[in-house]
Amino acid sequence: MATLLYTHPACLQHDTGEYHPECAERLSTILAALEGEEFMALLREEAPLASREQLLRAHTAHHLDHVLDAVPPSGEHHHIDPDTVMSAQSGEAALRAAGAVVAAVDAVAAGQARNAFCAVRPPGHHAERDAAMGFCLFNNAAIGALHARDAHGFQRVAVIDFDVHHGNGSQHILWDEPGTFYGSTHQEHAYPNTGLAEETGGKGRMVNVPLPAGSGSDEFRQVFDDIIVHRLKEFAPDFIIISAGFDAHAADPLAHLRLKTSDFKWATERLLDVAAASAGNRVVSVLEGGYDLPALAASVREHVRALLGH
């Protein structure tokens, strides 16, 4: 079966201002990297707008209204916080980013594709139930996970996050949600200073593995296999969402893990193995971080190669 690629031009129009690391060039670089004969098998789909009902599975009505009412006039910027910036196009971009994951879940659940990658921005894993932060407006991964559970009846939905920063928002939203699992590897003592190993969730289905700054491939692969994949197999997911951040790469300027490009393909393949065993191969991946453009392009290519080839 096919691999789907969801994106939308509106995600390129989300303007964070000069010198901001979460810039439109991130997405244009990724899309250029996925051109060419090798990626012709990707089925390319336009991301729809997420509905209010879909967003409300993960966020409060107050949060939705606060974000969408904060969209500034054309040519202006609005800072939700020092890092999280909106432009006139940001509201549509955020709705398309969340809508991409929802549509991908629908397609994979229906058997129209084996898996999907959502090349969208703004990213989402820092957005909490009632707060935007860390470049993130809506929590795309959590919205997708709760949609898989509530709209399609999956009973064991896992979100696995290998971004260098802990997905505090995904953890916050899923903390007490039945039928969900959240697993994260991330750099310890990095933004947003959450994700301690003892943060295990209201139902004990949170697995946080903070790695010391400077950790590389060997350290990452050991804990990913021995802890994240081990616990994920015990959970036996019937649907997997990947928060695919590529800023743990050694070249990335925003943190200090030392992963190689090949590590992202390896991690993806390990998750696909679990999906094959218990989830009918159902995987939806959504872009999170990654701020060195050449490293981001190379890492996404490896990630998508794994999705296509498994």
List of E strands, 83-129: 85-86, 115-118
C-alpha to C-alpha distances, 250 to 48, 174, 247, nearest whole angstrom: 34, 30, 8
β-pairing verdict for 283-287 and 239-244: parallel
Choosing from 14, 59, 125, 126, the catalytic residue is 126
165 is catalytic: no
DSSP 8-state secondary structure symbol assigned to residue 46: E
Length, in residues, of the chain:
310
Q: How far is Cα 292 from Cα 296, in angstroms, rounded to an integer?
A: 6
Rg (the chain; Cα; Å): 17
- How would you classify the pairing of strands 78-79 and 157-161? unpaired
112: burial class by Cβ within 10 Å (0-12, 13-18, 19+)? middle
Contact 159, 215 (CB under 8 A): no
SS3 286: strand
Tokens of 285: 């991946």
CB contact set of 305 (below 8 Å; sequence gap of 6+)? 38, 265
Cβ burial of 221 (10 Å; 0-12, 13-18, 19+) is middle
| Cα 194 off chain centre by | 17
> 113: which DSSP letter?
-
Joined tokens for residue 165? 């920063």
Q: Which two tokens stand for residue 94?
A: 């955020």
Residues classed as catalytic: 126
